[in-house]
Structure 1
């Protein structure tokens, strides 16, 4: 366990500079977005009220008040989040391939450590998961701070103060990142963790068999997806809801656990028996 934790800490340390840059970009872009949206709204209010002589009540009836929802539904908030998501997806591959193609072919030393190679596999997956949770948590801290900034920039008569829960609840993408119940959290992030293990094992196929491994990786990934959605496919073919929603949910959870366990087992086998460094 101690060696596993050291490997996790090591993998986190290797990504920390990019991680901090992602956090900084997210903070800067979203703060700029709040300022721009607030200034744009107030400029429109000044134009309508003071230049076109529209009454305040008429302006509010036509354009509504300003709230954090206006920022949340814009690219100012979602673009940095998308950047973080894309970066982490790329890093799922980079966390392995840089060890092979880096300057000193670090994979030689990594796989020769006096520890089970499964610890290397699990440590990389854990590092990815912790990075995801870290960025999600930091974004949750940013939302109320950005909301506070918006309230400072917009006069009380022109603003509607909304809480973080309301922002998340009424935003489709944010609702995925921030599930409203523990069960949804397990489902969303469990599916994401399963996808990470599938990709890790697909990489092990490619590293073990090279060009043939690419085909095996694609077949393995496709088979994993088919197995996971098999209950839905069966219900679509039969055109009859043979399972109640809770039964379908339980079956999907069971399949997800089986697929994840299989991915770890196959990945460990390839790493121990087939991998070439």
Structure 2
């Protein structure tokens, strides 16, 4: 356990500078965006009122007021979130391949540590999970602050409604996926995400173990995992789905997810222990 914790800490330290940069970009982009969008909305409203000679009441009747949802759909808000997602997806690959960069010595040093090699596998997955949770927590912390700032910059008469965090999450499709408003949905979404992280890890180990042939094995493994997980959608007809309870459908996908995750870990353990040679 001590070796595993040290490995997790080691992986976190290797990415921490880039990670903090992502957080700073998110913070600056979203807060600057709140100011820009709020000012733009108010300027636009006053411009329309001046051009059409409308009172505030008439403008609000014709065009409606503003909410934080108007900002949450802009590139100022969505852009840094997309950047963080792309960076973490790229890091899922680099967390393995950077160990083989250069003269290949560092990967060998890791593999020769006096601990089970599966600890290396789990430490990398754990680091990614912690990074994801950290980004989500950071976004949840700054979201109400951004909402408060936005509402303070909008004149009271033009504020359509005051939104809480839950309302904001439900108003934006992308946010609803990344930050599900219900804990059960959160577990489902990120459980599926971690399942495919393990699938990706195992496919990478196929490539590291068999080189050119391993690329084919890895791609085939990803395709097989995706098809297996989605197989109920192909096998069960619409009529079958209609007679199944939502709990039963959930149980089917849960079992498949557990099987795929377990298979990925078992195969990954065999590859990193027996096939990736020092």
- Scaled to the shorter chain, the TM-score interval is over 0.9
Counterpart residue number, 2:223: 222
Counterpart contact for 1:207–1:276, Cα < 8 Å: no
Counterpart residue number, 2:254: 253
The 5 Å alignment of 1:75-94 reads 75-94=75-94
TM-score when normalising by structure 2: 0.95
1:200 aligns with 2:201: yes
Moved more, 84-93 or 53-62: 53-62
**TM-superposed deviation, 1:139:** 0.6
Residue 166 of structure 2 aligns to a residue whose secondary structure is: helix
Counterpart contact for 1:205–1:213, Cα < 8 Å: yes
**TM-superposed deviation, 1:73:** 1.4
The 5 Å alignment of 1:172-187 reads 172-187=173-188
Unaligned runs of 5+ in 2: none
- CA–CA distance in 1 between the matches of 2:16 and 2:251? 37
- CA–CA distance in 1 between the matches of 2:60 and 2:206? 60
Per-residue displacement from partner, 1:42-73 (whole Å, max 9, x unpaired)?
Answer: 11122233454311111112222121110111
Residue 144 of structure 1 aligns to a residue whose secondary structure is: helix
Unaligned runs of 5+ in 1: none
Per-residue displacement from partner, 1:219-267 (whole Å, max 9, x unpaired)?
Answer: 111111111111111014x854364322121011011001001101100
Counterpart residue number, 1:68: 68
**Alpha carbons of 1:47 and 1:17: their partners in 2 closer, same or farther (altered >3 Å)?**
same
Q: State the aligned residue count.
A: 276
| Aligned-residue CA RMSD (Å) | 1.5
Counterpart contact for 1:168–1:178, Cα < 8 Å: yes
Counterpart residue number, 2:48: 48
- CA–CA distance in 2 between the matches of 1:227 and 1:81? 30
**TM-superposed deviation, 1:153:** 1.4
